[in-house]
Amino acid sequence: MTGTVNSADSVPVAGPSGRRPGFDQARAENAVRELLLACGENPDREGLRDTPARVARAYRELFAGLHTDPDTVLSRTFDESHEELVLVTDIPLYSTCEHHLVPFHGVAHVGYIPDVQGRVTGLSKIARLVDLYARRPQVQERLTSQVADALVRKLDPRGVIVVMEAEHLCMAMRGIRKPGTRTMTSAVRGIFKTSASSRAEALELIKGRR
Ligand SMILES: Nc1nc2c(ncn2[C@@H]2O[C@H](COP(=O)(O)OP(=O)(O)OP(=O)(O)O)[C@@H](O)[C@H]2O)c(=O)[nH]1
Ligand SMILES: [Zn+2]
């Protein structure tokens, strides 16, 4: 992939040609065909004939977040004079481990305390943000931080807390083969970093949500 990288969140941005790098369907199809050959399969047998095109389309969808600017997701905000915690829990999360290109999946919990004007964003936009960053080759720690940092950038809130719990299929289906292992990551910004009571309140709500 060509182009330079935006240091804020590693979004590929326009290269010297001014063109934003996009998804190369033909290249992806060829790569899948090569992979099938490398695995000892016959990509020309009936069941596999359309597989390279299907897999390429699937990758286009799974990595669509590489080509979307996260700041556009949070472009609409509302002044609601709400100065207390907003917490969205159990956002379903499907991402792809960048080490093995297999899925990791779980849930995300995202909370923030708005700025002094009480500026909030639409609740769905928080789920969209998680989805966007999840649709990239990822590690869970970076995904967690990117969601937190995007909220800080766009809402300038008093604090942000993001907690993610996920199972990595690279640890379940292969390698160490420990299905059921869950990884928890968190990213805290602003008041959640400095105030133990604010952090504890959010974590209690996340823990006690069921
Ligand atoms: N920190 C972190 N590690 C991850 C994540 N997803 C996968 N990994 C780990 O990435 C590591 C890659 O290790 P390597 O030794 O390079 O690869 P490997 O030989 O396939 O490792 P094994 O999975 O132990 O077989 C493994 O320990 C994975 O469990 C993630 O989101 N965060
Ligand atoms: Zn992995």
Per-residue pLDDT of the chain (210 residues; tens, 9 = 90+): 333 334 446 555 555 555 457 999 999 999 999 999 999 999 999 999 999 999 999 999 999 999 999 999 998 888 888 889 999 999 999 999 999 999 999 999 999 999 999 999 999 999 999 999 999 999 999 999 999 999 999 999 999 999 999 999 999 999 999 999 999 999 999 999 999 999 999 999 999 986
Q: Is residue 70 part of a domain?
A: no
Q: Does residue 193 share a domain with residue 143?
A: yes
Q: Is residue 133 part of a domain?
A: yes
Q: Does residue 121 share a domain with residue 43?
A: no
Evaluate: CB of 168 within 6 angstroms of ligand 1.
Answer: yes
Q: Does residue 136 share a domain with residue 103?
A: yes
Q: Does residue 84 share a domain with residue 186?
A: yes
Cα of 108 vs centre of ligand 2, distance in Å, is 19
Evaluate: CB of 171 within 6 angstroms of ligand 1.
Answer: yes
Q: Residue 139 CA: which ligand is closest?
A: 1
- Per-residue pLDDT at 4: 38
Q: Does residue 58 share a domain with residue 101?
A: no
- Per-residue pLDDT at 192: 98
Q: Is residue 16 part of a domain?
A: no
Tokens of 74: 């949070």
Round to whole Å and give the CA distance between 103 and 179. Answer: 13
Round to whole Å and give the CA distance between 179 and 172. Answer: 4
Evaluate: CB of 178 within 6 angstroms of ligand 1.
Answer: no
Q: In Å, what is the CA distance from 172 to each residue of 98, 158, 181?
A: 16, 38, 8
Choose the final residue of a domain: 35, 62, 89. Answer: 62
- Per-residue pLDDT at 20: 52
CATH number at residue 182: 3.30.1130.10
Cα of 194 vs centre of ligand 1, distance in Å, is 32
Q: Does residue 134 share a domain with residue 41?
A: no
Q: Is residue 18 part of a domain?
A: no
Nearest CA to ligand 1 atom 14: 99
Nearest by Cα to 136 from 11, 4, 2: 11
Q: Does residue 80 share a domain with residue 58?
A: no
Q: Is residue 154 part of a domain?
A: yes
Q: Say how many domains are in the chain.
A: 2
Q: Does residue 169 share a domain with residue 116?
A: yes
| Residue of 94, 98, 99 to mutate, ligand 1, most atoms within 8 A of C-beta | 99
Q: Is residue 1 part of a domain?
A: no
Q: Does residue 146 share a domain with residue 54?
A: no
Domain residue limits at 184:
76-207
Does 97 participate in catalysis according to the annotation?
yes
Q: Residue 169 CA: which ligand is closest?
A: 2
φ, ψ dihedrals at 190, nearest 5°: 60, -130
Amino acid at 93: L
Evaluate: CB of 172 within 6 angstroms of ligand 1.
Answer: no
Does 170 participate in catalysis according to the annotation?
yes
Q: Is residue 15 part of a domain?
A: no
Q: Does residue 199 share a domain with residue 119?
A: yes
